[in-house]
Amino acid sequence: MVKPRRIEGYAIVSEDGMIADAHGVMPKSLEFEADKRFFERRLDAIDVVFHGRHSHEHQPNSDWRMRVVLTRRIVDIAADPSAENVFFWNPTGASLEDVLKTLGKPDAALGIIGGTEVFGLFLGHYSAFYLSRAPNLRLPGGRPVFPEVPAKTPEDVLKSHGLIAAAPHALDADKGLNVVGWHQPSEPKRF
Ligand SMILES: NC(=O)c1ccc[n+]([C@@H]2O[C@H](COP(=O)([O-])OP(=O)(O)OC[C@H]3O[C@@H](n4cnc5c(N)ncnc54)[C@H](OP(=O)(O)O)[C@@H]3O)[C@@H](O)[C@H]2O)c1
């Protein structure tokens, strides 16, 4: 059976667990150089990035990366006619295994970069989820990291799917910016 080698998720959230504001826009107040460097380093070790149609990592290596964009505008899987390393995927019409077979990467390491529904789709399958938290920022009515937020905290959601938190890792101590790696119990708790 085709099975990805690893599935990692990454998000930076406000104190109330939002990845974007009430207009669906990620505000500058959620952007930090140290978090961008961390995100870039992690994605450089990933084989395929998965995201929804409104998300993108915007990094120097983005054009080289194999990418799967989730959309309901197609039935199952389709190659992007304008970029040879990009595929569109509708999970209702094709399984993750089908996508990885189509990509010719059956045991790839996957990086899940959002938004809300896409982060939610992989819950229960993450090897690790890296949650950065912007201090002193709230985005009421914003776009949550998981569909269950804000009824639950992001941490409660990760815990309820069997992940265990490592100690917070300071990305920028002066700004009070931390990332917490949430891991499967069998995984080493590292960054
Ligand atoms: N802070 C962070 O870490 C972070 C992370 C990611 C994104 N963001 C920000 O969040 C905002 C976007 O969030 P979002 O949740 O609206 O965007 P998104 O997931 O990037 O895009 C939503 C679109 O993706 C497709 N999609 C999502 N789930 C799907 C599913 N299960 N099956 C099929 N298609 C699916 C749909 O496209 P169709 O309409 O084509 O069907 C949907 O309209 C942006 O501002 C982005 O910058 C922030």
Global pTM value: 0.96
Q: What is the DSSP letter of 191?
A: -
Over residues 75-91, the pLDDT tens digits come to: 999 999 999 999 999 99
Residue 150 CB: number of other CB atoms within 10 A? 15
Closest-CA residue, ligand 1 atom 3, reads 11
Confidence class of residue 176 from pLDDT cuts 50, 70 and 90? very high
The residue type at 11? A
Distance 90 CA to ligand 1 centre (A): 13
Ligand 1 atom, smallest distance to 51 CA: 20
Q: Is the pLDDT of residue 173 over 90?
A: yes
Cα separation of 133 and 131, whole Å? Answer: 6
φ/ψ of residue 10, rounded to 5: -140, 130
Q: Please provide the average confidence, as pLDDT, over all residues in the chain.
A: 95
Q: Enter the tokens of residue 6.
A: 């690893």
Write down the domain spans for the chain.
6-175
Q: Enter the tokens of residue 100.
A: 């990885």
Query: What CATH number was assigned to the domain covering residues 6-175?
Result: 3.40.430.10
Which pLDDT belongs to residue 111?
Answer: 98
Which pLDDT belongs to residue 3?
Answer: 82
Over residues 86-110, the pLDDT tens digits come to: 999 999 999 999 999 999 999 999 9
Q: Pocket residues for ligand 1 (CB within 6 Å)? A: 11-12, 19-20, 24-26, 30, 51-55, 70-73, 90-91, 113-118, 121, 143
Ligand 1 atom, smallest distance to 13 CA: 1
Distance 117 CA to ligand 1 centre (A): 7
- How far is CA 179 from each of CA 13, 55, 174, rounded to the nearest angstrom? 10, 20, 14
Cα separation of 155 and 61, whole Å? Answer: 30
Cα separation of 11 and 132, whole Å? Answer: 6
Which pLDDT belongs to residue 188?
Answer: 75
Which pLDDT belongs to residue 1?
Answer: 60
The residue type at 41? R
Which pLDDT belongs to residue 20?
Answer: 98
Task: Please compute the mean of the pLDDT values over residues 54-72 and round it to a whole number.
Answer: 94
CA nearest 133: which of 19, 15, 38?
A: 15
Contact 131, 179 (CB under 8 A): yes
φ/ψ of residue 171, rounded to 5: -90, -40
Over residues 113-135, the pLDDT tens digits come to: 999 999 999 999 999 999 999 99
